[in-house]
Amino acid sequence: MSAVLLEWYDANARSMPWRVPPREKMAGVRPDPYRVWMSEVMLQQTTVAAVTEYFNRFTARWPRVDDLAAAEDADVMAQWAGLGYYARARNLLKCAREVVADHGGVFPQDRDGLLSLPGIGPYTAAAIAAISYDEPAVVVDGNVERVMARLFDIHTPLPAAKPELTERAAALTPQKRPGDHAQAVMDLGATVCTPRNPACGICPLRSPCVARTRGTAADLPKKTPKKAKPIRQGIAYVVRRVDGAWLLETRPPKGLLGGMLGWPGSDWGDAPAPAPPIEAAWRDAGAEARHTFTHFHLRLKVMVAVVPMEAQSPTGDWHARVTPSDLPTVMRKVYDIAAAHLDGATQRDI
């Protein structure tokens, strides 16, 4: 089965900036563990389409792991803004610095060694070990789970099915070209064995696929229904000084959006207490900034004010200009609402 899949992969592998194409790999070009690691961290809970621009920007600015290790935290966080799940960016720096300090700038060459690094879990360790070093590690992401569930017609719902799906994937992982095999299964899931309307007619594994034979492919994998996410409320305070400067704060290093620039605001909870960062004539911008995190939905009331030059605040710093791309997504949403309100109001209105 693996031989058939690898033949399909050699002809149909997706082109990605972090991937060495099969033909080049056969000619002796080896995948760069740094680029593989970077891509895998970025791809956690994010799509290939969303990651590509960030990956190209990161590797152009920090082409080697020692370049990234020497980077300023604020620069890395700013470049990460908008990609989400910001703990990944903090762990990215920790990991790069540990690779340089403790491993001479070379990533460990086996799964167990990779697991010792900050921010690298079982999936990422297996992916780097298989793709970069051809260790026959078992790489299981959402695409692989879907392919295995259909290939063997497994109806146990996720996440309970994970051990069985991993066992099936392990049984198919070859000793030769395990990294290409892992990428082949992921590509198959992303392009052919898709969540909806799988293209079974062109699938290289259509003959041995039990779910195709039984007509159950479109119903798999089954998933345990998720609990409804709670809704948290908050208040964001957007202050513009008369010279056009904005008041921003750097969030605490730990927690949601840790180390990122953002607007001063209240806690996020059921009944947030007002916490204006400066005395001003605050106005409601008339719209909520809505954003969904992994475990909850957030609704931010946006308050705006314009203050004189002498205004001071202990909670943040004045920035002559705001570049929305330097802000995390929820803070960009706040900015869009506030800027539209301020730009549409006259000074007398405010």
Decide if 64 contacts 73 (C-beta within 8 A): no
What is the CA 285 to chain-centroid distance, rounded? 30
* DSSP assignment string, 165-224: HHHHHHHH--SSSHHHHHHHHHHHHHHTS-SSS--GGG-TTTTT-HHHHHT-GGG-S-BP
Evaluate the CA torsion angle 39, 117, 100, 254 in order and state its sign.
positive
Is 310 one of the catalytic residues? no
What is the CA 226 to chain-centroid distance, rounded? 20
Q: Which residues contact 37 (CB under 8 A, 6 or more apart)?
A: 95, 107, 120, 124, 128
Of 7, 40, 72, 167, the active-site residue reads 40
Q: List alpha helices for 30-70, DSSP H.
A: 33-43, 48-61, 65-69
Tell me the catalytic residues: 40
